[in-house]
Chain A
Amino acid sequence: AQSVTQPDIHITVSEGASLELRCNYSYGATPYLFWYVQSPGQGLQLLLKYFSGDTLVQGIKGFEAEFKRSQSSFNLRKPSVHWSDAAEYFCAVGANTGGFKTIFGAGTRLFVKA
C-alpha cells in the first residue's frame, strides 16, 4: 500500500536559517511526488512536484526538493527562511491505482522565530 511519512510533527527555525523538511514514501512504482503548503485558514497550495526527469525540483517561493529513489525520500529545502514561511507543509504521493488519488503525509508545522 502507498504511504507517506513526515517524521517531524513540528520544526522551529530562525529567520534567515536554512530549512529541510523530511518526507519518506512507500510506493511500488515510480511515484508522482508533491509538496503543498497550508497557511492558517487557507487551503492547500502546490509548492512543487516531481513526475520524472531531473531529481532536483525547483518550486515557488524559493523552495526546492530532491527525489532520492534509493532512500525513498523527497525532502523539501529552502536556503533562507522568511517569517512568512510559517505554515504547515504536506508531502504527498500520487498513486495511479484504478484512478488517480493523492495520499498525504500527516504534515509538518513550521514555526519561524525572529
Chain B
Amino acid sequence: KAGVTQTPRYLIKTRGQQVTLSCSPISGHRSVSWYQQTPGQGLQFLFEYFSETQRNKGNFPGRFSGRQFSNSRSEMNVSTLELGDSALYLCASSSDRGRRFFGPGTRLTVL
C-alpha cells in the first residue's frame, strides 16, 4: 500500500499570500488530520476530517481552513500568510481511531 503523500514538499511564499497544501491518505483511510510543527510550539493539532466533514478542530485562527473530498483527499488552506506560519505541516490518515500514519510533510517558508 502506498503511504500518505503530501504535495508540495517545499513551498516559499510571501506575507499576505495564500497557500493550499494537499494530502492524499492511504487507500481506504477515511480520516485525515493536519498538524503544524514549529521549533517554538512543537506539534500542534489543526483539524481532522472524516468522510468530508470536519470532526475536530484545534486552536488556530480562521485563516487556517481545510476540506476533504469524496475520495478522502484533503486540502489545507492558509490565507493572508504571516511570518509565523512558517512551519512543517504534517498530514496523517487513519482507518481506526488513534492509529495515524503520517506523511513526510510540507515545509512552508513565509518571507
| Interface, chain A (partner B; CB < 8 A) | 32, 34, 36, 41-46, 49, 51, 90, 94, 96-107
Q: Are A101 and B105 in contact (CB under 8 A)?
A: no
| Interface, chain B (partner A; CB < 8 A) | 4, 31, 33, 35, 42-45, 48, 50, 55-56, 58, 90, 92, 97-105
The contact sample of 17 A-B pairs, CB cut-off 8 A, is A43-B90, A43-B102, A43-B104, A46-B100, A51-B98, A100-B31, A100-B55, A100-B56, A102-B33, A102-B45, A102-B98, A104-B35, A104-B43, A104-B44, A104-B45, A106-B42, A107-B43
Give bound CA distance, A55 to B50, whole Å.
30
Q: Which residues of A sit under 8 angstroms from B90, Cβ to Cβ?
A: 43-44
Count contacts between A and B, CB distance < 8 Å.
57
Q: Are A46 and B56 in contact (CB under 8 A)?
A: no
Q: Are B99 and A46 in contact (CB under 8 A)?
A: yes
Task: Specify the chain A residue showing the minimal Cβ separation from B45.
Answer: A101
Q: Which residues of B sit under 8 angstroms from A34, Cβ to Cβ?
A: 98
Q: Are A43 and B105 in contact (CB under 8 A)?
A: yes
Known: A41-B104, A46-B99, A97-B56. 17 other contacts (CB 8 A): A32-B97, A45-B102, A46-B100, A51-B98, A90-B43, A96-B97, A99-B55, A100-B31, A100-B56, A100-B97, A101-B48, A102-B45, A104-B43, A104-B45, A105-B42, A107-B42, A107-B43
Task: Specify the chain A residue showing the minimal Cβ separation from B100.
Answer: A102
Q: Are B98 and A49 in contact (CB under 8 A)?
A: yes
Give bound CA distance, A97 to B82, whole Å.
30
